[in-house]
Amino acid sequence: MNVTMTERDSAAGATSTRYHYTRVVAMAGRTVRACVERDYYLGHSCAVVEVLNDQMTWTSLASDAPSNWWYDTPTPTHHLDASAVLGRLADDLLYRAARIVALPPTPLAMSPRVHGAISALLATTYRFDGERRIEPDEVTWACERGGALHIFEHGSGAVTFTKAHRDDCPFITSSGARDCDDECVFPDPASSSRP
């Protein structure tokens, strides 16, 4: 999981009864905090990772049960280096948080017109009761060839689906209002086999 983490803050402390380590990072446009508190008692210890929500309060993303790590950590003392002892645990929590917050956003809302146009695309490509299951490797194959998919809803009610143009083509930058400058040429993938 390649999520860039930018350090924001960290704090560590120890007493004769407990020690704690907190690490705050920015990732995927969010602020995420891992807190590990190791108490003399297992039941008072905790390891949790939280995300700062829009109301500026912390929302829990994941936790690690103290029974998973309490026995492997030293008994609290004043002069203990909490960041050294608990750093790995905090890192693991942050990586778990990265997997959670890096999930793709909720599906794009699709207009009824685009939905109808996909129905027509299917019906005209196959037949009126067409069905076609797209496998993930076909999506990868398509994304790596031709242009990016663009969908334009025209004033006439027509809808264009195209992978025929580069992103800075006038047809794309004008959302289909201007013509292609005829400089959109993609390598023919015929030589590479279809999945």
Structure tokens at 1: 């999981």
Binding piece for Zn ion, criterion CB under 5 A, among 27-35, 123-131, 134-142, 184-192: 184-192
Min CB(170)–Zn ion separation in Å = 7
Residue 19 interacts with Zn ion (CB under 5 A): yes or no: no
Distance CA(32)–CA(5), nearest Å, equals 9
Distance in angstroms (rounded) separating the CA atoms of residues 21 and 14: 9
Among 27, 171, 173, 179, interactor with Zn ion by CB under 5 A: 171
Q: How many residues bind Zn ion (CB under 5 A)?
A: 5
Under the binding rule (CB under 5 A), the answer on residue 162 touching Zn ion is no
Of 180, 185, 190, 192, which lies in the binding site for Zn ion, with binding defined by CB under 5 A?
A: 180
**Closer of 87 and 147 to Zn ion (Cβ):** 147
Q: Which of 24, 51, 97, 169 binds Zn ion (CB under 5 A)?
A: 169
Distances (CA, A) of 152 to 13, 149, 157, 170: 57, 10, 10, 13
- DSSP annotation of 145: S
176 part of the interface to Zn ion, by CB under 5 A: no
E strand residue ranges, the chain: 6-14, 18-27, 30-39, 46-52, 58-63, 150-153, 159-162
Report the distance separating Cα 104 and Cα 108, nearest Å. Answer: 10
Establish if 21 lies at the interface with Zn ion (CB under 5 A).
no
* Rg of the chain in Å (alpha carbons): 26
80 lies in the site for Zn ion, by CB under 5 A: no
Binding segment for Zn ion (CB under 5 A), chosen from 74-82, 117-125, 167-175, 187-195, is: 167-175
35 makes contact with Zn ion (CB under 5 A): no
Q: Which residues bind Zn ion (CB under 5 A)?
A: 165, 169, 171, 180, 184
